[in-house]
Amino acid sequence: MAALLTSLDSLVAALRADRRQVIGPTVRDGAIVLAELDSARQLPYGWGVRVAPGGYRLRERADRAAFGHSAGPQSWKAYLHPPRTELWSTRRGESPAEPDEPPPRYAFLGVRPCDLRAIGVLDRVLGQGKYPSVRYAARRAATFIVAVNCTEPGEACFCVSAGGGPKAAAGYDLVLTELIGADTVRYVVEAGSEKGERLLSTLDTYPADAATAEASAAVDAAAGRMGRALPPGDLRALIAEKRDAAHWDDVASRCLSCANCTMVCPTCFCTTVEDTTDLTGEVAGRWQRWDSCFDPDFSYLHGGAVRTSTRSRYRQWLSHKVGTWHDQFGEAGCVGCGRCVAWCPVGIDLTAELAALASEETAS
């Protein structure tokens, strides 16, 4: 049953009272980043963004919306699958010990439907299957998710053509829809799990009544306002066919191999391991850190790297995202959040690159 909140203060307070670390959007360094929130007052009320390939600027909104912005430079991946984590450490003469602190009790506030799907993708890559990551699974199980339906897609967004949409499907504990008035904001809230029900029952809410219809209309309208779209057709087949396309050279001449696209992508999961020793020679450890197929060392085997050109590295990235991910995990690796488009320093836009590959096919 939907209910209505006239502020998010009580929600954040209740999550914190439940001993949760609330992570949500807030303004820092000219962007809307994810950070720990002490109170709902730190949400980016009144801030929107202007996004273009390779460009992102904050802009002031005429209203007080907290979620009137599209994806920033980070994703929830930074919390569920952190950039650097310790796998084990040991002292000379002892056996290796894994860190044994309990997983953080996160509450993610403001997970977009695209990012909710991305968490689902990560779950299938890291949390399930034959060799699940125990650490990932533990973090994930301890996390409470407050999703927010999307009423304002950005210029780089294309979730609809990536098989999703602005309405959160499964996988949340609570879901909000922000109703933006002239100088008020209200939130229609629904539970998606027992945990969510329980938390919701502790909040003072109003009956949602007509607000429910208003909320669905706003979300439905968002579906028609995507900034971009993937080209139609079977992208997996397209990628397989276009292995030798001339267009890979074209994109390689613009691509910096800098890996920003994979780092901001909410589903890119690749890591490497690093061994450490301290200067006394008594303590050794092993750490996992984010890696990327754009790292020249990523494909290093004895004698050198397999992918030595930017062409081969960019092709690996795009092929994996929309092609070979299907072979590995039974779905695409792209949810259409638009981050890689906005946060590529030189504005390489995968929707445009795929369209160019598709048209090269028709030309030949």
Query: Residues in the site for ligand SF4, rule: CB under 6 A?
Result: 255-262, 264-270, 292-294, 317, 320-321, 334-340, 344-346, 348, 350
Closest CA relative to residue 348, chosen from 220, 269, 217, 256: 256
Applying CB under 8 A, among 91, 97, 296, 328 the residue interacting with another protein is 296
* Binding flags for another protein, 12-51, as an x/- string (CB under 8 A): ----------------xxxx-x------------------
Instruction: Decide: 141 and 326 in contact? Cβ < 8 Å.
Output: no
Q: With CB cut-offs between 5 and 8 Å by kind, which of ligand SF4, another protein, none does residue 265 bind?
A: ligand SF4
Q: What six digits make up the tokens of 130?
A: 């034959």
Distance CA 185, CA 180 (A): 5
3-class DSSP state of 305: strand
Neighbours of 197 (CB within 10 A): 14
Minimum distance from residue 179 beta carbon to ligand SF4 (Å): 27
* Strands laid side by side in the 106-111 sheet: 31-36, 21-28, 106-111, 144-148, 174-180, 185-191, 3-5, 206-207
3-class DSSP state of 170: coil
End-to-end CA distance of the chain: 55
Q: With CB cut-offs between 5 and 8 Å by kind, which of ligand SF4, another protein, none does residue 127 bind?
A: none
Distance CA 153, CA 159 (A): 9
Instruction: Decide: 71 and 334 in contact? Cβ < 8 Å.
Output: no
Report 98-127 residues binding another protein (CB under 8 A): none
Q: With CB cut-offs between 5 and 8 Å by kind, which of ligand SF4, another protein, none does residue 351 bind?
A: none
Of the pair 44, 192, the CB lying nearest another protein is at 44
Minimum distance from residue 74 beta carbon to ligand SF4 (Å): 11
Applying CB under 8 A, among 264, 322, 334, 337 the residue interacting with another protein is 264
Closest CA relative to residue 148, chosen from 165, 163, 167: 167
Phi, psi at residue 304, to the nearest 5°?
150, 180
Q: With CB cut-offs between 5 and 8 Å by kind, which of another protein, ligand SF4, none does residue 320 bind?
A: ligand SF4
Instruction: Decide: 142 and 149 in contact? Cβ < 8 Å.
Output: no
Q: Which window, 69-77, 177-185, 191-199, 353-361, contacts another protein (CB under 8 A)?
A: 69-77
Minimum distance from residue 300 beta carbon to another protein (Å): 9
Q: With CB cut-offs between 5 and 8 Å by kind, which of ligand SF4, another protein, none does residue 47 bind?
A: none
Closest CA relative to residue 215, chosen from 196, 187, 192, 191: 187
Q: With CB cut-offs between 5 and 8 Å by kind, which of ligand SF4, another protein, none does residue 338 bind?
A: ligand SF4
Minimum distance from residue 198 beta carbon to another protein (Å): 32
H or E element at residue 253: helix 247-254
Count of residues touching another protein (by CB under 8 A): 50
DSSP single-letter state for residue 102: P
Q: With CB cut-offs between 5 and 8 Å by kind, which of ligand SF4, another protein, none does residue 281 bind?
A: another protein
Chain residues that interact with another protein, rule: CB under 8 A: 28-31, 33, 54-57, 72-74, 78, 83-84, 253-260, 263-264, 274-281, 284, 289-290, 292, 294-297, 308, 310, 313, 342-347
